[in-house]
Amino acid sequence: KEKHKILHRLLQNSSSPVDL
């Protein structure tokens, strides 16, 4: 998990493209 923490975060966030 530590190795892919940003990806994990992106996958868990309910982000929308405007937030990117």
Q: Which residues bind another protein (CB under 8 A)?
A: 3-8, 10-11, 15-17, 20
Distance (Å, whole) CA 11 – CA 17: 13
Residue 12 corresponds to which tokens in the numbers above? 């868990």
CB of 12 to another protein, least distance (A): 9
CB of 6 to another protein, least distance (A): 5
Residue written as token pair 């992106």: 10
CB of 2 to another protein, least distance (A): 10
Residue 10 corresponds to which tokens in the numbers above? 């992106």
